[in-house]
A and B are shown apart, each in its own frame.
Chain A
């Protein structure tokens, strides 16, 4: 008798929890979709605006769909209108940025890997102090070093050049890249290094033959991080370069702010998207390794 009462009340509870769960689930989706659309909204406006003509922009609203796919403003943003003075367009600056970002990412990543390797596998007296000071470099506000850096670049004779920017970004990338690699290598068993030493491998051989081949995840993380940082940098670019040598973010700023006559929203939007595309590509190509590399550590033999 008692069992019957119990089983019926269980059924009721089961029904109830089913409804609660369903409600919560739908609520969850609702919230997620809401946030996602909130997040994607600016991008939508940018893309749509860049495809409209100025006429359409004036007449429609932000959300109106363009009447036809019109890439004219993209071409203008990339290649200019073809008349002489005052025509700013992104192409040369885009290549400036590429010429800056590729060596800067390469050198800072490589040096960071090397430093991380030394700090974990070739410990020396005071190494934790070296690491501490490097960490300190992560927290220095970059505004604080603008003047001394400008002096240094001037003395070296590489101010207002892509080479100068490569140097600046490499130097200020090292604290972060070192941190990444150090934290990765600390979970690699030191016995690997010992075994390699007994096998007769030296400092560089161990690095290139044993550690670097297993560093892919952290290299991806570092490259994405450095690429984004350097590509999107405006402060160093605008301080240490002007005119011809400026990277794309500085040129973008000049373009948008220095339009003499009418504000061409479609061209501005197209330029902003162009300036953001390379980082997007890097994320799409390597994004899944990014999370994996950040969370994974140990390479068990």
Chain B
């Protein structure tokens, strides 16, 4: 049984297609993050799961029950919003129990739930306050509390941390993670922040233009991006994509960048398909953090590159390098002294590369 299943879901607003044939499944207790740039349809998808938006095509199942036409309140879900959406005229207590009251829960049960959740979230001292008298972090807690008291099957989070300042955001992120570890409830979480997605999700679904690009564990998303969009979206700075082509002879296969004659051997790369590789035009993808200053592994490929620019950001520096007229970035510890306008010897970690078809932009 899947806690949440989405089948061939499509949605359009008038002529604009927002979601296209979305298929998605979540097992009990998982934390799924919907990640993507603004306008990719992730929030619409969440609203559809909540029942706040109608569906044009396809179905939504919760616990194998088709809820496509079920009212939001009957879907056994709870949602936390970006603006917290606390009812301004009610105090914290009234905010938290509003849903239970609507559901005609007994007074004893309401009191018990309120007690339990407010102590758990440490808002039990704030119960009489109005939302306007709370700090951002407290509002966030109350909003989560309002969702918790209903003991839903699925938690929906719509960019809950984007209104907080940087420091508080990191704190709240950790608390949400803790919360999930303790309660083990199924969560669907929408964000455009890749760090949030990576640190929270057990699964990440990356979306662009209403289509899911990749839906896998954070490790796989990071190490084996399924196309150039994912490769570019995840990581900071994002993955270097070097244009070039493959050269294959009897038992060797290597990559040659445009305007270059240097052959980079990639015999150990795990190709999806082995045919038609010779002369194939590709992007050679390598992350800035996988270009080393010192040889770390036996297989690291040494290469001479000219450094053009160095950006100091505290614990590390980002160096712009020139790879036969293509700009690539590398990340080094800030303790290393870089001489600009000069060639230096660097090492590519070939165990961590990704290759993409130049035309289809898909991983090969």
Contact = CB atoms under 8 A, between A and B. Distances in A.
A210 interface: yes
Given A194-B50, A213-B89, A301-B131, A200 B83 contact: no
A301 B85 contact: yes
B50 A199 contact: no
Contact of A200 (B82, B89, B99, B146): B99
Interface in B289-308: none
A198 B83 contact: no
A218 to B, nearest CB: 14
Nearest to B156: A198
Nearest to B75: A198
A195 interface: yes
A214 B102 contact: no
Interface of B: 47, 50-52, 71-73, 77-79, 81-89, 98-99, 102-103, 131-132, 139, 146, 158
Contacts of B131: 301
User: Closest 10 A-B residue pairs measured CB to CB?
Assistant: A213-B89, A200-B102, A199-B99, A200-B73, A191-B85, A195-B85, A191-B81, A198-B72, A189-B83, A301-B84
B88 A301 contact: yes
A242 B162 CA distance: 63
Given A197-B73, A198-B73, 11 more contacts: A191-B81, A194-B85, A195-B87, A196-B87, A197-B72, A198-B50, A198-B72, A198-B77, A209-B87, A214-B89, A301-B83
Contacts, number: 66
27 contacts: A189-B85, A191-B83, A194-B50, A194-B52, A194-B72, A194-B85, A195-B79, A195-B81, A197-B52, A197-B71, A197-B72, A197-B73, A198-B50, A198-B52, A198-B72, A198-B78, A199-B99, A201-B98, A205-B102, A210-B89, A213-B88, A213-B89, A300-B83, A300-B132, A301-B83, A301-B88, A301-B131
Which of B77, B81, B85 has the most chain A CB within a 10 Å cutoff? B85
A210 to B, nearest CB: 5
A279 to B, nearest CB: 30
| Majority secondary structure of chain A interface residues (helix, strand, loop or mixed) | helix
A199 B73 contact: yes
B81 A210 contact: no
Contact of A192 (B85, B102, B103): B85
A192 B87 contact: yes
A29 B77 CA distance: 63
B89 A198 contact: no
Interface string A179-201: 00000000001011011111111
A299 interface: yes
A300 B78 CA distance: 21
A199 B102 contact: yes
Contacts of A189: 83, 85
A191 B83 CA distance: 7
A12 to B, nearest CB: 49
Which of B78, B82, B87 has the most chain A CB within a 10 Å cutoff? B87
B157 to A, nearest CB: 13
A301 B52 contact: no
Contacts of A197: 52, 71-73
Contacts of A299: 88
Contacts of B146: 195, 199
Nearest to A206: B87
Contact of B88 (A199, A200, A205, A214): A214
A122 B146 CA distance: 23
A199 B139 CA distance: 17
A214 B88 CA distance: 7
Contacts of B78: 198
A105 to B, nearest CB: 23
Contacts of A195: 79, 81, 85, 87, 146
Contacts of B103: 200
A301 B86 contact: yes
Nearest to A188: B88
Contacts of B81: 191, 194-195
Interface in A156-213: 189, 191-192, 194-201, 205, 209-210, 213
A192 B81 CA distance: 9
Given A194-B50, A214-B89, A301-B131, A201 B83 contact: no
Which of B77, B89, B158 has the most chain A CB within a 10 Å cutoff? B89
B130 to A, nearest CB: 11
A205 to B, nearest CB: 8
Nearest to A205: B102
Contacts of A201: 98, 102
A23 B175 CA distance: 62
Contact of A199 (B83, B98, B132): B98
A200 B74 CA distance: 8
Contacts of B52: 194, 197-198
Which of B82, B83, B132 has the most chain A CB within a 10 Å cutoff? B83
A89 B132 CA distance: 52
A300 B50 CA distance: 23
Contacts of A213: 88-89
Nearest to B82: A191
Nearest to B103: A200
B162 to A, nearest CB: 13
A189 B132 CA distance: 15
Contacts of A198: 50-52, 72-73, 77-79, 99
Contacts of A205: 102
Nearest to B99: A199
Nearest to A212: B89
Contacts of B71: 197
A282 to B, nearest CB: 25
B123 to A, nearest CB: 15
